[in-house]
């Protein structure tokens, strides 16, 4: 039942001109004693969201440096993903806990997946809460187990974290984006490792202005008028409704402005369509608001085009595990405005490489400043791109994983 995910080939040497030779050499030195190790990544879905995007690059890069790596997706039906969506929201602070039936569904699907999991691994990396019980249920199937948390656990629903904690604290090692996301009561080795983006992926590779203009035009964008853009899942925490409200304030001052809300619909997010429809309703058929997703043929190339062309890129999150879309946006050297929450301040130095905001009104005011001063926008964009280059590109994340594997084996 566990589905292997097919990934392409990537070569660490291709990144040397971007991240520098010294980091590449450090990675190869760390990988040498780990060659041949069997590593399994387990996640809930192969599409949509930051976890799958990271693994489509990380798995081939781990293979390139000599590890024997696979990525499997767990089995689940609608009742399981309904339960884990409630769990995800509760762990980020929503007051609604899972019902007893939903907890039973979560446990039973974990038991089913534990039975189907092959043994003989050196390292199993379990991503997020959906398959978090697997270590407790089948500890003998790997020498080392790691739980990788991609969400903000700083203020979880107390009932939800109390029920989940026995499963996650049992892992010999865990990995969190930020120290403040580590819940009280965790045991084992705790690692703080921010995620990263792939600068050579279609979503992030260098794009000519002419190509970006051509693609944006295909979706009805007037490329001669200013464009605000948020690229993110349609999720209450990403606050697309607040982005629309900010756009309306900007439009009162600058009637020519347009807005694009671009996101992918993930297979493990059954609420996504409800919130997508709520976003469409909030737009009230404004012809200058373009709401697009992967079912409108918006893929990685199209996202790149929107980010590369936009005059202002926004990530107005109210809660955020980390927000890889921030680094993706800033990597395009465009001016950026983000919510002052979660991992966004790690990626943006306020006033230097972008702006941090805490309200609709602040978002609108900073947008107006950028649109009125192109020199400011260029300065923010250049500083942001260099910050991402130094801290949030995939080879750095590969190095951090190799260090974790080596520490567990020591």
Least confident of 48-52, 58-62, 86-90, 123-127: 48-52
- Token pair 């270590």 is at which residue? 135
The Cα 122–Cα 99 span in angstroms is: 36
Overall average pLDDT of the 227-246 stretch: 94
The per-residue pLDDT for range 144-187, each reduced to its tens digit, is 999 999 988 999 999 999 999 999 999 999 999 999 999 999 99
The per-residue pLDDT for range 193-205, each reduced to its tens digit, is 999 999 999 999 9
Q: Is the pTM of this model over 0.85?
A: yes
The Cα 346–Cα 98 span in angstroms is: 32
Mean of the per-residue pLDDT values for the chain?
95
Classify the phi-psi angles of 195: left when phi > 0, otherwise alpha if psi is within -120 to 50, otherwise beta.
beta
Helices (H), ranges, 219-299: 240-253, 272-283
| Tokens representing residue 246 in the block | 């900010």
| Tokens representing residue 334 in the block | 């465009």
Indicate if the pLDDT at residue 98 is higher than 70: yes
Q: How many helical (H) and strand (E) elements, i.e. helices and strands, does the chain have? A: 16, 13
| Tokens representing residue 252 in the block | 């009162």
What percentage of residues in the chain have a pLDDT greater than 70? Answer: 99
The per-residue pLDDT for range 266-299, each reduced to its tens digit, is 666 667 888 999 999 999 999 999 999 888 889 9
- Coil, strand or helix at 147: strand
Under a CB-based contact definition with an 8 Å cutoff, are residues 347 and 325 in contact? no
C-alpha distances in Å from residue 130, one per residue of 123, 274, 348, 387: 18, 21, 30, 32
Domain annotation for the chain: domains and CATH numbers: 3-196+393-409 (3.40.50.2000), 209-391 (3.40.50.2000)
């Amino acid at each position: 039942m566990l589905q292997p995910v097919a990934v392409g080939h990537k070569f660490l040497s291709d990144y040397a001109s971007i991240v520098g030779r010294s980091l590449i050499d450090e990675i190869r030195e760390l990988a040498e004693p780990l060659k041949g190790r069997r590593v399994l990544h387990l996640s809930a879905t192969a599409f949509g969201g930051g976890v799958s995007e990271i693994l489509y690059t990380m798995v081939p890069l781990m293979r390139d440096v000599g590890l024997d790596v696979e990525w499997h997706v767990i089995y689940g039906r609608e009742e399981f993903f309904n339960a884990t969506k409630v769990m995800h929201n509760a762990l980020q602070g929503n007051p609604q806990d899972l019902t007893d039936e939903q907890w039973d569904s979560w446990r039973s699907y974990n038991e089913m997946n534990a039975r189907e999991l092959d043994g003989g691994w050196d390292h199993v990396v379990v991503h997020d809460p959906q398959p978090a019980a697997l270590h407790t249920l089948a500890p003998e199937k790997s020498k080392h187990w790691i739980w990788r948390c991609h969400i903000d656990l700083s203020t979880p629903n107390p009932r939800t974290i109390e029920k989940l904690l026995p499963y996650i604290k049992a892992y010999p090692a865990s990995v969190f984006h930020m120290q403040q996301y580590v819940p009280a009561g965790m045991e084992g080795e705790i690692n703080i490792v921010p995620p990263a983006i792939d600068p050579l992926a279609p979503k992030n590779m260098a794009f000519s202005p002419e190509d970006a203009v051509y693609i944006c035009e295909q979706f009805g964008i007037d490329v001669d008028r200013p464009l605000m853009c948020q690229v993110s899942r349609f999720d209450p925490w990403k606050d697309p409704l607040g982005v629309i409200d900010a756009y309306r304030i900007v439009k009162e001052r600058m009637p020519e402005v347009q807005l694009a809300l671009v996101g992918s619909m993930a297979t493990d997010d059954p609420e996504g369509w409800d919130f997508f429809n709520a976003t469409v309703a909030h737009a009230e058929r404004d012809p200058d608001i373009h709401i697009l997703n992967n079912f409108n043929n918006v893929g990685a190339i199209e996202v790149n085009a929107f980010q590369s062309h936009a005059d202002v890129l926004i990530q107005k999150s109210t809660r955020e595990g980390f927000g890889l879309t921030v680094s993706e946006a800033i990597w395009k050297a465009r001016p950026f405005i983000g919510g002052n929450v979660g991992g966004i301040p790690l990626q943006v130095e306020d006033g230097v490489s972008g702006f941090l905001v805490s309200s609709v009104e602040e978002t609108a005011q900073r947008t107006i400043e950028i649109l009125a001063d192109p020199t400011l926008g260029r300065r923010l964009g250049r500083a942001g791109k260099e910050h991402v280059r130094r801290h949030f590109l995939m080879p750095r994340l590969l190095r951090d994983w190799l260090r974790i594997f080596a520490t567990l084996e020591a």
